Amino acid sequence: MQLRSGNKCELCGAEGHLQVFEVPHSPSAGVDDCIYICDTCKTQIEDPKNMDLNHWRCLNDSMWSAVPAVQVMAWRMLNRLKSEGWPQDLLDMMYLDEDTRQWAKAGSSEKSESQIIHRDSNGNILETGDTVVLIKDLKVKGSSMIAKQGTSVRRISLDPENEKFIEGRVDGQHIVIVTDFVKKV
Ligand SMILES: [Zn+2]
């Protein structure tokens, strides 16, 4: 392991304080599932809220590693950051063979699910059961109904796959509402 990595972090190239990190959801157990990384990388992998975007410019190099476990980790981190633009460009260039791609995705779908956070128009976090007020008139898709500005929607539920959508009842109708048009009360 140390030999393969040349005593450098396999993601960012930093030296010192390196540790073995087992890349989750690997199809088989063994040393091939592990990468050798620095504290900085490990901390940020494990705590998505404290990501230093510039640190991950290192993926520009490490995504070309010949080691599948490194490719998987690079792919996952790029996916986590892709809304920034450049990581998406790198993802587009990246090549993973089929097995490696499956492995990479095995982790990322789970991650993104737990990362979905619904926010109202003011950026407040919305939770299942909250009451919201519509901040503009909304045409309800598939009907002639208009949900009026100021209408309150009680006990909303959250779309588990899309952070922009919540659901609730207006005038007895179950409707989907875009989070940009509501305010939590
Ligand atoms: Zn590192």
109-165 pLDDT, tens digit per residue, is 554 445 688 999 999 999 999 999 999 999 888 788 899 999 999 999 999 888 999
Averaged pLDDT of the chain: 89
59/61 Cα distance (integer angstroms):
5
Instruction: Output DSSP code: residue 119.
Output: B
Q: How far is the CA of 42 from the centre of ligand 1 (A)?
A: 7
CA dihedral over 106, 108, 109, 114, signed as positive or negative: positive
CB atoms within 10 A of CB 136: 12
**How far is the centre of ligand 1, averaged over its atoms, from the C-alpha of 134 (Å)?**
45
What pLDDT score was predicted for residue 112? 47
pLDDT of residue 172: 87
Half-sphere exposure of 139 (CA within 13 A, CB side): 4
pLDDT at position 125 is 93
Residue 168 confidence (pLDDT) above 60 = yes
Instruction: Give distance in angstroms: CA of 19 to centre of ligand 1.
Output: 10
